[in-house]
Chain A
Amino acid sequence: MPLFKKLIILVAFTVILVFTLNIFYIDIGDKCFITIIPSVELSNGTIVSALQILKKVVPNQYTKVCENVKFINTNVSCGGFDGGCYHTGNNKTIYVSSSQRHLVVSTSVIAHETCHLLQEKQKRPLNEPECYSIGNTVLKTITQK
């Protein structure tokens, strides 16, 4: 195979590998294993950053995410772009649409949708004010203006 083609394959493989690394969020110390399903927005990196912010700044919320969420789907769902969604009956998955610039919103949305997941798990009605309040607490905690 010509050297030129080998180089192209190597570059393509590297890009795929880097992309793949952001598909699995692994935090062995906190027993956190989350698969981040990619979308056209290529926002896996933002989701990883949001999880790390929760870990450092709002550890109680991070624990809830790690214990209950196994999949974060970054495709657009009922919450629209830069929003989130939780589908009942799918109690390990939350939807978080995001983009690089919306790091703060993404962090809040992860906490908000995890709140809905827990509501269903605890057989309580899906109540928006409770989860808005949690999302708001995350926003106020992680930002300084």
Chain B
Amino acid sequence: MATILHEESEKKLNKKHNKLYILLFFTISLLTLYLVFSYVYYIDISNGCLIKLNSDPTNPNSNSLRQSLQYIKNETSEYKNVCGSINKINEMQCLSEDPRVTNVKYTPSGCFVKGTKTIYVLPSYFNSINEQGNDIVKYAEYAKNYLEQK
């Protein structure tokens, strides 16, 4: 009888441990997801803004992209358009022509990719956050016009 009671109380203890482990697992998973998400994405829930920032892994500069988006939000009236028209910013050079064919010598500051909500921006091209922000606004306008045409 004592053995049965002991086994039952052990089972209850195991169940409690299992629940604790599950809770711990979910808490750590959610925390990890949130940290990764907020590092990789620009998030502004109150304005419905979610933009993935694909930074250069060898020289990540997503801070300048975040600062530019903050500049657009605080200093321009185009923030809503940017958030609605763009969902991804690739931090790298936009190859808009093949130099083997056109002998192009210059590097554009960025571009909009038609058929997507993706833009390319090369932070090292710009002298200031504001300049970069104005270019992001320009590409968002292209994206909006393209979506409206389709």
Assuming A4-B22, A101-B90, A132-B100, is B112 touching A144 (CB within 8 A)?
A: yes
| Cross-chain contact B118 with A103 (CB below 8 angstroms) | yes
Q: Can you list 18 residue pairs at the A/B interface with Cβ under 8 Å?
A: A2-B18, A4-B21, A7-B22, A53-B116, A55-B115, A57-B114, A101-B90, A103-B118, A133-B101, A136-B101, A139-B95, A141-B114, A142-B113, A142-B114, A142-B115, A143-B112, A145-B108, A145-B111
Query: Does any Cβ of B come within 8 Å of A75's Cβ?
Result: no
| Cross-chain contact B115 with A56 (CB below 8 angstroms) | yes
* Docked CA distance A136–B115 (Å): 17
Interface of B is mostly: mixed
* Docked CA distance A136–B108 (Å): 16
User: 9 nearest interchain CB pairs?
Assistant: A56-B115, A136-B98, A143-B96, A145-B111, A136-B101, A53-B115, A145-B108, A143-B111, A57-B115
The chain B residue with its CB closest to the CB of A54 is B115
Interface residues on B, range: 20 to 34
Q: How many residues belonging to A are interface residues under a CB distance threshold of 8 Å?
A: 29
The chain A residue with its CB closest to the CB of B145 is A144
Q: Which residues of A contact B150 (CB under 8 A)?
A: 56
Of listed A57, A100, A104, A133, residue having the most chain B CB within 10 A: A104
Interface of A is mostly: helix
| Cross-chain contact A104 with B95 (CB below 8 angstroms) | yes
* Docked CA distance A108–B22 (Å): 47
Q: Which residues of A contact B113 (CB under 8 A)?
A: 53, 103-104, 142-143
How many whole Å from A95's CB to the nearest CB in chain B? Answer: 18
Assuming A49-B116, A56-B114, A57-B115, is B22 touching A3 (CB within 8 A)?
A: yes
Query: Does any Cβ of A come within 8 Å of B44's Cβ?
Result: no
Other than the known A100-B90, A104-B113, what 15 A-B pairs have Cβ atoms closer than 8 Å?
Answer: A3-B22, A4-B18, A4-B25, A52-B115, A53-B114, A56-B114, A56-B115, A101-B90, A104-B95, A135-B101, A136-B102, A140-B96, A142-B113, A145-B96, A145-B108
